[in-house]
């Protein structure tokens, strides 16, 4: 398990970026927006999908009462590129930095072009075999991922259905 602060994640080969964090007591989630100003080189996935480049955005939504964090990638035209979910043991505000965080338990779910995929099952398996996580945590991560996929398939996940455009202004 790894504690992830919103400032420390997914800025591969980024030279310059702006960060805005929205923390509100009356909402059930925290939001961090990373506007990528300049990259050393574009980040292209093995399937050819351009995920990060100058002018792109990453919007992270950290639900207070769910066991995942959602990261949404947008291109320079503010068009959706990909949803990426990190399954977590818990989310909150870090006492020291006062920034949102999530406790990443290795397993991930993505939505790209309408296709849902579970990622990093090998990392979850390795964490179990290496003693980094318990069997209970392993099973919990799988259950959360399966529930999340059910919600996505039934179009009932409120975070996937959020209008994130208000944060990209």
Per-residue model confidence (pLDDT) at position 97: 92
Residue with tokens 């779910």: 109
Number of domains in the chain: 1
pTM: 0.93
Per-residue model confidence (pLDDT) at position 8: 60
The low-confidence residues of the chain, meaning pLDDT below 50, are none
Per-residue model confidence (pLDDT) at position 103: 96
CATH classification of the domain holding 43: 2.40.380.10
Tell me the three state secondary structure of residue 113. coil
Per-residue model confidence (pLDDT) at position 78: 96
CB atoms within 10 A of CB 139: 12
To which H or E segment does residue 148 belong? helix 135-153
d(CA 153, CA 143) in angstroms, rounded, equals 15
Per-residue model confidence (pLDDT) at position 9: 62
Q: Show the domain range for 34.
A: 2-168
Structure tokens at 80: 């959706």
Per-residue model confidence (pLDDT) at position 135: 98
Per-residue model confidence (pLDDT) at position 26: 87
């Amino acid at each position: 398990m790894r504690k992830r602060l919103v400032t420390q994640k997914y800025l591969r080969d980024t030279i310059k970026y702006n960060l805005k964090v929205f923390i509100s007591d009356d909402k059930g989630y925290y939001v961090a927006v990373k506007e990528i100003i300049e990259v050393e080189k574009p980040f292209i996935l093995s399937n050819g999908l351009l995920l990060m480049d100058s002018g792109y955005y990453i919007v992270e939504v950290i639900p207070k009462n769910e066991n995942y964090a959602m990261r949404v990638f947008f291109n320079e035209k503010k068009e959706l590129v990909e949803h990426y979910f990190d399954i977590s043991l818990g989310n909150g505000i870090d006492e020291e930095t006062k920034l949102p965080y999530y406790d990443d338990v290795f397993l991930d779910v993505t939505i790209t072009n309408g296709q849902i995929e579970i990622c990093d099952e090998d990392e979850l398996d390795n964490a179990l075999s290496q003693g980094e996580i318990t069997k209970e945590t392993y099973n919990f991560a799988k259950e959360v991922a399966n529930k999340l996929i059910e919600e996505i398939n039934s179009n009932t996940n409120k975070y996937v259905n959020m209008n994130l455009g208000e944060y990209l202004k």
